[in-house]
Amino acid sequence: TETFGISTAQLTPLCSVKNLIQVPTVRSTDFEVHRNWLAITHSLPVSRWYYENTSEWTLDYPPLFAWFELGLSQVARRFDANMLQVENLNYASPATVLFQRLSVIVTDVVFIYAARECCRCVREPKGSRDVLSRPSFVLAVLLLWNFGLLVVDHIHFQYNGFLFGFLLLSVAKHLQSQHLQGALLFAFLLNLKHIYLYVAPAYGVYLLRSYCFAQDNKDGSVRWSSFSPLRLLALGAIVTSVCALSFGPFIAMGQLPQVLSRLFPFKRGLCHAYWAPNIWALYNVLDKSLAVLGVRLKLLEEAELPPASMTGGLVQEFEHSVLPSVTPAVTLVCTLLSILPAVASIWLRPHGAQGFLRCLLLCALGCFMFGWHVHEKAILIAILPLSILAVESREDAGIFLILTTTGHYSLFPLLFTPAELPIKVVLMLMFTIFSFTALRKLHSAQGSLLHPLEVIYLLGLVAVAIACEVVFPLSPWQQRLPFLPLLVTSVYCAMGVCYAFLRLYASLLLRREEKPKQL
Amino acid sequence: MQTWSLVSICVLLAIIARWGVSLNSYSGAGKPPMFGDYEAQRHWQEVTYNLPIQEWYFNTTNNDLNYWGLDYPPLTAYHSWICAYIAKTINPEWVELHKSRGYESTQHKLFMRMTVLVADLLIYIPAVVLYCLYLTDGSSKKKVSIMFCFLLYPGLILIDYGHFQYNGVSLGFALWGILALGLGWDVLGSMAFSLALNYKQMELYHALPFFCYLLGKCIKTGLIGRGLFLLVRIGVTVLATFALCWLPFLAEPSQAMQVVRRIFPVARGLFEDKVANTWCSLNTLIKIKSILSGDSHFTLCFLFSVPQCHFKVNSSLAFFLFSFQVHEKSILLAALPACLLLNDLPLMALWFLQASTFSMLPLFLKDGLLVPYIVTSLGFLFFSIYLLSALDHCSEDKLRLGAYNKLFYWLPKMDLFYISIAAMVGLSIATAVLIPPPHLPDLFPVLVSTTAFLHFLGTFIHFNVVQFSEPPSRKSQKKSN
């Protein structure tokens, strides 16, 4: 549409400009990870891909991503063939850096296209408004300028723009009632990065319920007679063919168990080195404080407690001192329990594609909250689709503001060098100012977006930020408790994320006014 | 959206652009023994902190003037002193006398870049914001667009945050001066401009218009009475500001004379490097240098520059094009007034600003700033064209040629614009990628400066035509422009 045409024309160069300026910033280990994968897929035969472990950064994404890296390596050859030698660990010539950065920027095209499709799904209100206040423009900026995505992709280095493009495109297709395309895109996505299993239940139940059963009864319950085997077959064919494309060669070679063990390394600890702001962060803190309290009150012997390895920032298995230890099985059960009500809700009372989107968000958040070894980057799986809801409904806008601000702030520890401090602070300020003012203007007719208590919580974030970035490094505790700012950040953000999770649940379960759509 | 949020987002974007550029290399990085401007600034911090004030401008055993001796007026020295004081508290090695020569480290680079950003945030950026919000006309969206393009001018960003200088301070003070004059606060304006002059002597480029405007204003309000009183007040302010800045050097005449000798090095040649200057371009045809001697150069330049009294762009451009010992960075002084014209003559202003950035390309290549150059130029071009609808403003009355319209109607304006952009792009690519033939080693820098010179000359003529074709009533309404 015309309005969105203006938006892309404005925003695309905006993004490219900014992306290129970030080219010389500090690179992280993810850079070496992807260089290693380029080398593995280029130089070694397929049968060795999932066995190769010269470098510690072994291939742990599904095979379709490996094929993608193989394609990239053909282009990489023209930049600097030396990066494709597996033995060249930590090889980072300027040509290599340039190539890697350019590859992220180029594959971002998928994301830009997906953002455009999402903007087309947004309802434009009647009456002419200036461009800056149109919902589609606001959504475009919220997606393309998402602070988390910029930080994780361009400074930290990953292909999340590319991957989230697939996710948003798939969601947009479902919103436009093109379910087979949506299913195809999600199948691709799953085979590119298996973290999107987080949201697979939402897809599975939604497609089964709303696509395979062509019609509903008047009250919204299942009409069993309208089951369409043809549709089910179509879906099955799509999923199996994509998986065959991806895993096929490895199943043929009998390497499936090895691939799966690489994909799901449960040997890693409950929490990532930097704690994601989820339930287990709160659990850990509770455990630690009980332990300290117990020692102070002479209820526990200090010698009985395991050494303080959890806060050492290392990724390993460890045990809790006071509360029961958490195993992967426990996290799986908790996760499934947390998403069960959402999934059940769209089975029993489907609310069409909007309900699917809400269920997707809840699955993403539920897995984030209770999952095993969750990375804080995973919060983006919830934040990006929530932008679509935020520009349409006032309540969702409020939830979005809380989740986004806390989620984005929890990404701050990812950028820890002094050179990156101005960038992350300024970018965060920009995005926050824009999201608050734009969403407030959009929903101005319906009242304020945030409750005063929520505002106080968000202002508290500023205090935490100043304390962690400015006060702490200059204080005497820097030596003794280096992990303290990360802990404080995780715990404070975890509260915000939990709150957003509960409010989203409430909005799904208590929603009664929308009629279920026929497909 | 509210203006304040738009303004803050634009300012934040401008800061991101600046900090992004500052992550790149600086002039003279890793190039002993002399390094570059970055080392010069660091050296000045070392000198001003460790030596007593009387020795700053003198050649002593502790202060070797051949190794980046101070050649800016005292305010720069005081600024260096403040930076050195902070540097000493963070890491004394950065400003240790003699031992810190050629000191390079990531933390130090971060510190130096921070000093530029802080100076910008305190002086330049507020001046731009206030100027655009209060002294330009149009809707608030238009004002914010102009402010944004103004802040994104690539030349200043690349020089200050890439090559490494503090032009933002002197240009910022000059802009505060213009702002104050525009709001009718003549005394404050003259004080601000005096501060600018005391920071960098190149602000003399702007001195003539300031002087003429203030003198004209005094005459207009009646030379007997209020006008004279205003003149006296301004004169006293200027003298007081100068006295305050030069206070430590006024104790002995030899001190003051030495400072003057340092900041006006008449002994140097007519041009350094390949500068987009008339003399430089002429030099390729006639070897002027060899014909004239040093002093006559100077008078020749002055004669050419005097007639342009009113229009600030014209005067700064005239100085640049015809004056003495010009460094390519001096085009920034003409760029500042051009930015002020973004509102009235968007197409010509942006054309000139782009050409000015292009003219400094050889310098950027030497400093390893090719990628920031490309990105900031593209960004600036795109934003000015889109936000200011510059391409729509090429009709005759918009270009304000007035009575001289008939002379120039045959010039295809838009085609010229596209051709020139294409030429700049082509030359940029050629300079960056191609190797010049061995018998013409400076081929590309000369081509760049000649092309830029043609652009500047064209702009110079255009702005002169605009200025002289304005009806008198408009001229009197016009502020310090």
pLDDT tens across the length of chain A (519 residues): 445 555 555 666 666 656 655 655 556 678 888 888 888 899 888 888 888 888 788 888 999 999 999 999 999 888 888 888 888 788 778 788 888 888 888 888 898 889 889 988 888 777 656 777 788 888 988 998 898 988 887 666 788 889 999 999 999 999 998 999 999 999 999 999 989 999 999 999 999 888 888 777 777 677 777 788 888 999 999 999 999 999 888 888 888 888 888 888 766 666 766 778 888 888 888 888 888 888 888 776 666 666 554 454 444 455 677 778 788 888 899 999 999 999 998 888 888 888 899 999 999 999 999 988 888 889 999 999 999 999 988 999 999 999 999 999 999 888 878 888 888 899 899 999 999 999 998 888 888 888 889 999 999 999 999 888 888 877 777 777 777 888 889 999 999 999 999 999 998 888 754 444 443
CB contact under 8 A, B9 and A21: no
Please list, in sequence order, all residues whose beta carbon lies within 8 angstroms of the beta carbon of residue A212, skipping any fewer than 6 positions away.
A227, A228, A231, A232, A235
- Using a CB–CB cutoff of 8 Å, tell me whether B111 touches chain A: no
d(CA A10, CA B463): 31
- Using a CB–CB cutoff of 8 Å, tell me whether B368 touches chain A: no
Minimum distance, in Å, between the CA of residue B369 and any CA atom of chain A: 11
pLDDT of residue B138: 84
3-state SS track over A76-106: HHHHCHHHHCCCCCCCCCHHHHHHHHHHHHH
Q: In terms of CA atoms, which chain B residue is nearest residue A21?
A: B20
Question: Which A residues in the span 425-454 are in contact with B, Cβ-Cβ below 8 Å?
Answer: 426-427, 429-430, 433-434, 437-438, 441
Among the partner residues B5, B13, B23, nearest to A25 by beta-carbon distance: B23
Q: What is the ipTM of this complex?
A: 0.85
| Substitution target from A21, A154, A443 for chain B, most B beta carbons within 10 A | A21
**In chain A, domain spans:** 27-514
CB contact under 8 A, A25 and B382: no
Percent pLDDT > 70 in chain B is: 78
Q: In terms of CA atoms, which chain B residue is nearest residue A442?
A: B1
pLDDT of residue B390: 62
Minimum distance, in Å, between the CA of residue B114 and any CA atom of chain A: 10
pLDDT of residue B408: 61
Among the partner residues A24, A133, A426, nearest to B16 by beta-carbon distance: A426
Among the partner residues B107, B375, B382, nearest to A21 by beta-carbon distance: B375
d(CA A368, CA A376): 8
Please list, in sequence order, all residues whose beta carbon lies within 8 angstroms of the beta carbon of residue B441, skipping any fewer than 6 positions away.
none
Distances (CA, A) of A104 to A149, A171, A324, B286: 12, 22, 43, 52
Asked if the model's pLDDT at residue B228 lies above 50, the reply is yes
CB contact under 8 A, A21 and B110: no
SS3 state of residue A383: helix
pLDDT of residue A402: 94
Distances (CA, A) of A16 to A99, A151, A500, B38: 15, 14, 32, 29
CB contact under 8 A, B23 and A419: yes
CB contact under 8 A, A426 and B379: no
Q: In terms of CA atoms, which chain A residue is nearest residue B385?
A: A10
CB contact under 8 A, B16 and A430: yes
pLDDT of residue A106: 84
- Using a CB–CB cutoff of 8 Å, tell me whether B223 touches chain A: no
- pTM, two decimals, is 0.86
pLDDT of residue A174: 93
DSSP symbols for A131-182: GGG-HHHHHHHHHHT-HHHHIIIIITT--HHHHHHHHHHHHHHHHTT-HHHH
Among the partner residues B106, B107, B375, nearest to A17 by beta-carbon distance: B375
CB contact under 8 A, A423 and B107: no
CB contact under 8 A, B9 and A434: yes
DSSP state of B418: H
| Substitution target from B3, B24, B375, B381 for chain A, most A beta carbons within 10 A | B375
CB contact under 8 A, A24 and B24: yes
A423-428 long-range Cβ contacts below 8 angstroms, 24+ apart: A423/A22, A423/A25, A423/A155, A423/B16, A423/B19, A423/B20, A424/A151, A424/A155, A425/A465, A425/A469, A426/B12, A426/B15, A426/B16, A426/B19, A427/A147, A427/A150, A427/A151, A427/B12, A427/B16, A428/A147
d(CA B187, CA B230): 8
Q: In terms of CA atoms, which chain A residue is nearest residue B110?
A: A419
CA angle B445, B446, B452 (to 5 degrees): 90
Average pLDDT, chain B: 78
Could you tell me which residue, B313 or B61, shows the higher pLDDT?
A: B61
CB contact under 8 A, A132 and B1: yes
CB contact under 8 A, B16 and A419: no
AA letter at B136: T
Distance, C-alpha A260 to centroid of its chain: 21
CB contact under 8 A, A21 and B20: yes
Contacts of B116 in chain A (CB under 8 A): none
Identify whether the C-beta of residue A450 lies closer than 8 Å to the C-beta of residue A191.
Answer: no
3-state SS track over B332-349: HHHHHHHHHCCCCCHHHH
d(CA B467, CA B401): 9
Asked if the model's pLDDT at residue B328 lies above 60, the reply is yes
CB contact under 8 A, A133 and B13: no
d(CA A20, CA A13): 10
pLDDT tens track for B394-409: 554 555 555 555 666 6
- Using a CB–CB cutoff of 8 Å, tell me whether B117 touches chain A: yes
In the structure, how many helices (H) and strands (E) does chain B have?
25, 0
d(CA A93, CA A252): 38
Identify whether the C-beta of residue A359 lies closer than 8 Å to the C-beta of residue A206.
Answer: yes
CB contact under 8 A, A434 and B375: no
CB neighbours of residue B452 within 10 Å: 26
Please list, in sequence order, all residues whose beta carbon lies within 8 angstroms of the beta carbon of residue A255, skipping any fewer than 6 positions away.
A47, A50, A51
- Using a CB–CB cutoff of 8 Å, tell me whether B174 touches chain A: no
pLDDT of residue B319: 55
Radius of gyration of chain B (CA): 22
CB contact under 8 A, B378 and A17: yes
Please list, in sequence order, all residues whose beta carbon lies within 8 angstroms of the beta carbon of residue B155, skipping any fewer than 6 positions away.
B331, B332, B335, B353, B356, B357, B360
Among the partner residues A13, A433, A441, nearest to B9 by beta-carbon distance: A433
Contacts of A133 in chain B (CB under 8 A): 1
Question: Which A residues in the span 387-426 are in contact with B, Cβ-Cβ below 8 Å?
Answer: 418-419, 422-423, 426
CB contact under 8 A, B371 and A20: yes
pLDDT of residue B420: 86
Contacts of B372 in chain A (CB under 8 A): 21
- Using a CB–CB cutoff of 8 Å, tell me whether B372 touches chain A: yes
| Substitution target from B4, B15, B89 for chain A, most A beta carbons within 10 A | B15
As beta bridge partners, residue B326 has: B271
Residues in chain B: 481
Contacts of A429 in chain B (CB under 8 A): 8, 12
Asked if the model's pLDDT at residue B272 lies above 80, the reply is no
pLDDT tens track for B52-106: 888 888 888 888 888 888 889 999 999 999 999 999 998 888 888 888 888 888 8
d(CA A323, CA A333): 18
pLDDT of residue B170: 92
Asked if the model's pLDDT at residue B301 lies above 50, the reply is no
pLDDT of residue B311: 47
pLDDT of residue B320: 56
- Using a CB–CB cutoff of 8 Å, tell me whether A297 touches chain B: no
